[in-house]
Structure 1
């Protein structure tokens, strides 16, 4: 593919998709888990607070949105520069023949993520296009295929290498896995056209074909659960692949019509029962206590919810995680612009004070490394976390969660009030006033990173902290400052 076509692809596809995020059907209802091992693990996961998500595949060579350009829906993130869809799809699939990320070094990523304060990783073992970043024996469309030049590299089994490198740094490990597989002939059957993201035949009319796909999916997931060491999270994407009753299909169509301005439905709603209950039982037999995130599918197999590229307006009454792009798109964007340090730290605070976890996406490039901007961003976050992590890890929300630019958390009888530098001045104010809470008489108020107690006075139902001049001009960290109160009224 010539350079002009690649630039055009980047222009028309990345811009649209960065705004939209990944297309999923969100459903914020929640069914509580009952497995005691999973409940214990969920509670531990809620203490971790900060994780790393990585979207990576052969598509990174073109710097385009992952997978979606081979989906024939009329959406901004699916557009192609070719008039001939089949010719484009063939060229896309041939990307495996040139994928050779020779600078791949997951140990370097694990160190950078650890220093940033991240405590778990979720990696795209397979996205919707079906290209496996692990050595699956059920397909040859994979990074270890003899047709992929990287297969001779001693680190060719990329998923194994990433999992091992991050576990060595005490990370929890999560396997992202796409339930739809647009390369598998039992999902997109070549006998029919592929009008949208869904299976392109009626599973009820061709039950044997659908059963072959179900078995393929279960087999690949079981490979990840049995051959790749201890796994903490199974993070399933493609929420449209799920069991749906006729009534659910009818309601979904009605809702889609309401959202459509023209009445033209860009994607069907199809019953795609992949037998999740059976699958979850099998994977937990191999990985007891495994957290399963069947994203955007209402039911007991969605152990925590994943609002995408957004933060809820208030605290939520169930486990949740905001997955958010750090720079560019979900997948590699040439010369991506990354968040500033204050944007990332304030984002983390906003998520944590509402009781959630932040899963920050960094996309490796075709050479097998992150861009310089990603390392610089993680370094800035890490500098802040080294001083203030006590107010993040293991905390729970403290109502009312926020007062203007002050976030609130609590842990082990202590309260933390996190003052965000929204003016980006780098200097602390002379006084900080908290309205919603008041320390008990004689309680200690300290600033994380500063060794001496601060003077405070009660004001109505709240309190006011005086900041000495030597602190105002030389605070212990950038972006935000944490006041720790030993005991509240």
Structure 2
């Protein structure tokens, strides 16, 4: 009884996050949304489970990390290793920004990407319309640092407005469209004023000392985002990066930077504390007038405009009681790497299962190359994931977390608004066959319930064992499982375990 009450309490927390005031993850608070249209949309988003993230820009020509090499901070990812004069910062930036002129992805085929993503079981897209370097992959009228500028080699191509082409192609395959947008813009004179040298990722002047200049940057940012909300069809997610661009006191900024490992408790900061009020509430209101119900993800900024949290390149240890998504590199880096090594299908599928069992979504990053193509290995990986999901998708989509989310090598999901449980058995490395018996300790089917394996459907023999069950797997099914890497037992439990 004590264990049952514990499970029920945990599950209640997972299911009713919107009724709570505040939750925390790694020191960051989550504030539920009060807009009913957004909450409805978030509920739908939590059903999707699997999405695609794409970092792409002119920087792909050098095969380097996106944007960060022009940031004068002393981190490994900021190192300048390309160009003719990397030891001279200003010459390097000039050459880096000159990559706009030679950017010419002549093999750009968004329909091929969209088909591969759809076949893999992905349900939504987040595309980098603009990263921190300020290079726009859309036809913004507020800058000439864009893919459609006449100085860019690709501007005469019929598909030059890359963001529009990508959104159209993915929507045609039934995926949601999400716009990644960087709040900082290191190309804009309103952010990095050419009168002052940039000294880190932040604005290089004090916005409170130069309010008119800062207001111009606020207007510039709002205008570009509203372009995306107006001219690019239905947008489901506005995914904002650059969490240091936010309204906050210096004490709040210092605490945040220390928490993220960018400073120390002694007060030393690698990034200075700067209040950068982008007027986010006002921006979100304007954006939702264009796109009602729009999900906004103001990443790493505590408050109502971070509709879901986004652990970066990691998976939380436990289930989280609010909407969340792990953004994960599939291979290489966030941006294109010529010799990228991709995850194995087994690792990728197990990661997807682990995330979904904890109540989250997986946003899987694949980076296009300078010619507009993906690595062959990316297609192969997505194909393998799609084959598995084709058999076992019922255990992934429209599911919710249920305690305990995992026991030994078995993860659990619960079909939304039902008593149906999916027990997902994770195969060991090299394991091709199911075991003769599978013991499930945490759940027991209700009286007379059918236990079956997804992809097969036949009733399996089972018997009670303590608070769980022991399932017998016939030899024929053991040797010829319907999928590889993980297998799903499905059954109904009693009403009181929902």
**Whole-Å separation in 2 of the counterparts to 1:254 and 1:28:** 12
Instruction: Quote the residue 2:452 is aligned against.
Output: 446
Instruction: Quote the residue 1:418 is aligned against.
Output: 424
The structural deviation recorded for 1:427 is: 1.0
Instruction: Quote the residue 2:169 is aligned against.
Output: 165
**Whole-Å separation in 2 of the counterparts to 1:198 and 1:258:** 13
Q: In the superposition, relative to structure 1, how do residues 257 and 350 fare at CA in structure 2: closer, same or farther (>3 Å)?
A: closer
Q: Confirm or deny: 8 A CA contact 1:256 1:265 kept in the other structure.
A: no
Query: Is 2:69 the partner of 1:74?
Result: no
Deviations 1:14-49 (A, max 9, x none): xxxxxxxxxxx9853101000000000000000000
Query: Is 2:139 the partner of 1:135?
Result: yes
**Whole-Å separation in 2 of the counterparts to 1:389 and 1:402:** 18
Q: Secondary structure at the match of 2:311?
A: coil
Deviations 1:227-278 (A, max 9, x none): 0011000000000000012442454476589954997532111100000000
Of 230, 234, 238, the match for 2:242: 238
Instruction: Quote the residue 1:430 is aligned against.
Output: 436
Query: Is 2:445 the partner of 1:476?
Result: no
TM-score (norm 1): 0.93
TM-score (norm 2): 0.91
**Whole-Å separation in 1 of the counterparts to 2:419 and 2:103:** 52
Deviations 1:208-229 (A, max 9, x none): 0000000000000000000001
Q: Confirm or deny: 8 A CA contact 2:254 2:269 kept in the other structure.
A: no
Deviations 1:279-313 (A, max 9, x none): 00000001000000000000000000000001111
Q: Secondary structure at the match of 1:399?
A: coil
Instruction: Quote the residue 1:370 is aligned against.
Output: 374
**Superposition map of 1:178-257 within 5 A:** 178-249=182-253, 251-252=255-256
Of 312, 316, 323, the match for 1:319: 323
**Whole-Å separation in 2 of the counterparts to 1:217 and 1:452:** 57
Q: Secondary structure at the match of 1:44?
A: helix
Instruction: Quote the residue 1:48 is aligned against.
Output: 48
Query: Is 2:108 the partner of 1:104?
Result: yes
**Superposition map of 1:299-318 within 5 A:** 299-318=303-322
Instruction: Quote the residue 2:65 is aligned against.
Output: 65
Q: In the superposition, relative to structure 1, how do residues 160 and 75 fare at CA in structure 2: closer, same or farther (>3 Å)?
A: same
**Whole-Å separation in 1 of the counterparts to 2:310 and 2:259:** 21
Instruction: Quote the residue 2:21 is aligned against.
Output: none
**Superposition map of 1:325-336 within 5 A:** 325-336=329-340
Count of aligned pairs: 465
Q: Secondary structure at the match of 2:170?
A: helix
Instruction: Quote the residue 1:360 is aligned against.
Output: 364
**Whole-Å separation in 1 of the counterparts to 2:80 and 2:265:** 23
**Whole-Å separation in 2 of the counterparts to 1:107 and 1:254:** 43
Q: In the superposition, relative to structure 1, how do residues 252 and 169 fare at CA in structure 2: closer, same or farther (>3 Å)?
A: closer
Q: In the superposition, relative to structure 1, how do residues 349 and 226 fare at CA in structure 2: closer, same or farther (>3 Å)?
A: same
Deviations 1:320-358 (A, max 9, x none): 000000000000010211000000100000000000000
Q: Confirm or deny: 8 A CA contact 2:324 2:360 kept in the other structure.
A: yes
Gaps of at least 5 residues in structure 1 are 1-24
Instruction: Quote the residue 1:385 is aligned against.
Output: 389
Q: Confirm or deny: 8 A CA contact 1:234 1:293 kept in the other structure.
A: yes
Q: Secondary structure at the match of 1:328?
A: coil
Q: Confirm or deny: 8 A CA contact 1:73 1:197 kept in the other structure.
A: yes
**Whole-Å separation in 1 of the counterparts to 2:56 and 2:459:** 47
Instruction: Quote the residue 2:35 is aligned against.
Output: 35
Q: Confirm or deny: 8 A CA contact 1:136 1:220 kept in the other structure.
A: yes
Instruction: Quote the residue 1:339 is aligned against.
Output: 343
Q: Confirm or deny: 8 A CA contact 2:443 2:468 kept in the other structure.
A: yes
Q: Secondary structure at the match of 2:303?
A: coil
Q: Confirm or deny: 8 A CA contact 2:330 2:366 kept in the other structure.
A: yes
The structural deviation recorded for 1:425 is: 1.3
